[in-house]
Amino acid sequence: MRRARSITIRDVAHEARVSVASASRALNGADGVTEAMRERVLSAARRLRYVPHSGARILSTRRTNTFGVILPDLYGEFFSEIIRGADTAARAHGKHLLLSSSHDGADAVAEVIRSMRGRVDGLLVMSPHIDAQLLADSLADDLPMVLLNTEVEGGRHPCFRVDNYAGAFAAARHLAERARLVAHIAGPLNNSEAEERCRGWRDALGETAGPLLQGDFTEESGFLAGQDLARMSPRPDAVFAANDTMAVGCLAALAEAGIAVPDAMAVAGFDDIPIARLMRPSLTTVSARIADLSRRALERLARLVDTPDTLNDLLETVRPEVIVRGSSRVDPQSRHSNGEQG
């Protein structure tokens, strides 16, 4: 546990009997160095187990080789997917990822962003909280930034977003094809994604929209909503949850209440988290390939950092796709469901 003074480039230079400048050049593979000297420096470094101090390098190069990722939370499959996508891209570029959860609230995000100055080259920010607008204003412009599913008017930063409205609209329509009354379990208030999805559901169904249950994206809230649903009369025969996590909770409640899915009640979620496919019945959902989205967002950020370029392609919208699975299949694997010839 002894924490000795760590060895610096000076030590290496001394050991190799060259100047610090030359050592630096050799270490960084800069040209203008004799092969002999380079070898001497490198071997000295090896002998001393020299490891460059990133803090110092950051200060002098003004490069951190790190991207900050700010998410509302780090918990659960959804954010795990986002992290995975970002990580994939970061690795590909040899960059680090500085992670932070903001737990909602634009001021919290602003604070986190502040604390990241000087330790990241750029930011990937997801802040679905409705007052993200405040955010935009309080942002320093001196840090490249890419937004993810974050509604901001000013539009100075590239933004990758899922068309939540269209996805929800399609899902609701799908359910309406087989059901008379389609309920909705909404996400948290003041969340722009939740709002868009709710709006999509409502617009898709018009007057025939079923009851609206308030949730908060957690599984538990989905469970409670499922219990409410089970007690209703007339009972809706379909429900669209604003995310998969709530849909999963809802399924559990329905199973407990002895309500058959999809026969007595069809269920659909949103996000296509990995577990959706694995539920029994498997969960119909709306997929936006979120890991892919975050990967591309980080790629974009990397480009932005390298070349603070033109303002084009500021907004990229992904049109999600309904994935029909067991929880809403009209005729659940009757005979060979492959033969779609009529």
Binding site residues, its own copies, CB under 8 A:
1-4, 6, 49, 51-59, 64, 66, 74-77, 79-80, 83-84, 87, 91, 96-101, 114-119, 140-142, 144, 156, 219, 248, 251-252, 255, 274-275, 278-280, 308-309, 311
Check: CB of residue 86 under 8 Å from CB of residue 298. Answer: yes
> Among 318, 276, 280, 312, which residue's Cα sits nearest to residue 296?
318
Between CA 267 and CA 260 the distance in angstroms is: 11
Between CA 229 and CA 184 the distance in angstroms is: 10
Check: CB of residue 266 under 8 Å from CB of residue 240. Answer: no
Nearer to DNA, 18 or 268 (CB): 18
Which one of DNA, its own copies, none interacts with residue 42, CB within 5 to 8 A by kind?
Answer: none
Which one of its own copies, DNA, none interacts with residue 75, CB within 5 to 8 A by kind?
Answer: its own copies
Nearest approach, Cβ of 64 to DNA (angstroms)? 12
Size of the site for DNA (CB under 7 A): 32
Q: Which of 5, 49, 231, 336 binds DNA (CB under 7 A)?
A: 5
Nearest approach, Cβ of 305 to DNA (angstroms)? 15
Q: How many CA atoms lie within 13 A of 175 on its CB side?
A: 37
Check: CB of residue 238 under 8 Å from CB of residue 183. Answer: yes
Between CA 217 and CA 140 the distance in angstroms is: 31
Q: Pattern of binders to DNA over 9-38, x per CB under 7 A?
A: xx------xxxxxx-xx-xx-x-xxx-xx-
Establish if 45 lies at the interface with DNA (CB under 7 A): no
Q: Binding segment for DNA among 60-68, 83-91, 137-145, 204-212 (CB under 7 A)? A: 60-68
Per CB under 7 A, contacts with DNA among 105-144 are 118
Q: Kind and range of the H or E element at 68?
A: strand 66-71
Establish if 53 lies at the interface with DNA (CB under 7 A): yes
Nearest approach, Cβ of 39 to its own copies (angstroms)? 20
Establish if 57 lies at the interface with DNA (CB under 7 A): yes
Nearer to DNA, 29 or 206 (CB): 29
Q: How many CB atoms lie within 10 A of CB 231?
A: 8
Burial 57-86 (b: 16+ CB within 10 A, else e): bbeeeeebbbbbbbbbeeebbbbebbbebb
Q: Binding segment for DNA among 49-57, 172-180, 193-201, 320-328 (CB under 7 A)? A: 49-57
DSSP string, 99-124: EEE--S-HHHHHHHHHHHTTT-SEEE
> Among 129, 87, 91, 92, which residue's Cα sits nearest to residue 112?
129
Which one of its own copies, DNA, none interacts with residue 100, CB within 5 to 8 A by kind?
Answer: its own copies
Interface ranges with DNA (CB under 7 A): 5-6, 8-10, 17-22, 24-25, 27-28, 30, 32-34, 36-37, 50, 52-53, 55-57, 59-62, 118
